[in-house]
Amino acid sequence: MAAPKVAVVGAGVIGLSTALCITETCPSCSVTVLSDQFSPNTTSDIAAGMLIPHTYPGTPIHMQKQWFKETFTYLFAISNSAEASEAGIHLVSGWQVFKNAPKEELPFWSDVVLGFRPMSEAELQKFPQYRFGQAFTTLKCDCPPYLLWLEKRLKATGVQMYTRKVADLWELHSEYNVIVNCAGIGAHQLVGDKKLFPIRGQVLKVHAPWVKNFIRDGDGLTYIYPGIHRVTLGGTREKESWSLSPDPGTTKDIFDRCCSLEPSLRGARDIKVKVGLRPSRQSVRLQREVLSQGGVKLPVVHNYGHGAGGFSVHRGTAKEAAHLVGECIAALQGSSSRAKL
């Protein structure tokens, strides 16, 4: 069989990192990324990019931990290299605070982030409305620079990238041997996945360079995440809302909630409002499927549905998807050598 041709549909953090992992695990493959939007116009560009996992109720915890650990280790190495500033990856320390002690005092990811510990009474004095808190250091991706860095690495390894909306995966079958579906919320239409739904998120990106620590309310709704140039203030979680229009009332509400956690934000300038749709499911869809039409077979690997935690687990799920692509290619090579006998 000639060099297997792989098409990755989608150019958010999942599509780009999956394409990169495929080039690493299958150097003989010819990889192409097809997407109707690239950075800065993807959901991944809107995200805060904090490595604090979201929990997927339908995925075993040991698997989620493995994905998070692989992602953390990968980004930690970048943060410790000369590439860190170009890739937009940096360490950030801060606090997750709770009005009441959480059910689980030790989240499953507590031994992956750095220096996880309960907050001291003295630290809690900064947050008079909160009774309990956790202090730790984690990583943050500044999303548009990280996506551009991934694109640059892909181009350097010879990956082609084309702007193209794919209406049906079958339209790719004559050009490619394996299709990888990383369409995010677009998979709702592309493969008709009714288990996939949007959770709308509105955030503010502000100039407040004096804010150096992250602060997150344990309810996950209100957060302050400092990046290299801008601080992300959030947020909202609106299930099944497809609206991409910012809501001015929500902007004021987010700003007020964040100022009550960090009063110095009243001096924030240059407030930009962004909205994104988290591609949500009970579990990430990470699986092989062989589509069949009139006796013709089309191997597909799905990797979508990362909801509120795509950045936190992207490298782990990309590695697993690349492994599944390897299995598809081995199956194709097996059947082509059997056909020659």
Q: Which residues sit at the interface with ligand FAD, rule CB under 6 A?
A: 9-15, 34-37, 42-44, 46-50, 165-166, 182-186, 190, 201, 203, 235, 276, 278-279, 304, 306-312
Strand order in the sheet with 30-35: 160-163, 30-35, 5-9, 178-181, 296-304, 285-293
Residue 301 known to bind ligand? no
The DSSP secondary structure of 161-184, one letter per residue, reads EEE---S-GGGGTTT-SEEEE--G
**Residue 255: count of CB within 10 angstroms of its CB:** 18
Query: What is the identity of the amino acid at 87?
Result: A
Q: In a 3-state reduction of DSSP, which class is residue 47? A: coil
- Considering the complex, what minimum distance in angstroms separates the CB of residue 140 from ligand FAD? 8
| Closer residue to ligand FAD in complex, CB, 166/208 | 166
| Closer residue to ligand FAD in complex, CB, 249/295 | 249
Residue 44 known to bind ligand? yes
Q: How do strand 5-9 and strand 89-98 relate by DSSP bridges?
A: unpaired
Q: Are 6 and 187 in contact (CB under 8 A)?
A: no
- Considering the complex, what minimum distance in angstroms separates the CB of residue 278 from ligand FAD? 5
- Considering the complex, what minimum distance in angstroms separates the CB of residue 175 from ligand FAD? 14
Enter the DSSP assignment of 284: -
- Considering the complex, what minimum distance in angstroms separates the CB of residue 191 from ligand FAD? 9
Q: Is 323 exposed, middle or buried (0-12, 13-18, 19+ CB in 10 A)?
A: middle
**Residue 72: count of CB within 10 angstroms of its CB:** 22
- Considering the complex, what minimum distance in angstroms separates the CB of residue 312 from ligand FAD? 4
| Closer residue to ligand FAD in complex, CB, 189/333 | 189
Residue 43 known to bind ligand? yes
- Considering the complex, what minimum distance in angstroms separates the CB of residue 299 from ligand FAD? 18
| Closer residue to ligand FAD in complex, CB, 73/120 | 73
| Closer residue to ligand FAD in complex, CB, 224/329 | 224
| Closer residue to ligand FAD in complex, CB, 23/35 | 35
Helices (H), the chain: 13-25, 43-46, 61-79, 84-87, 121-124, 143-156, 187-190, 248-261, 310-340
CA atoms within 13 A on the CB side of 325: 34
Q: Which residues are annotated as a binding site for FAD?
A: 43-44, 166
Q: Which residues are annotated as a binding site for D-dopa?
A: 223, 278
Q: Which residues are annotated as a binding site?
A: 43-44, 166, 223, 278
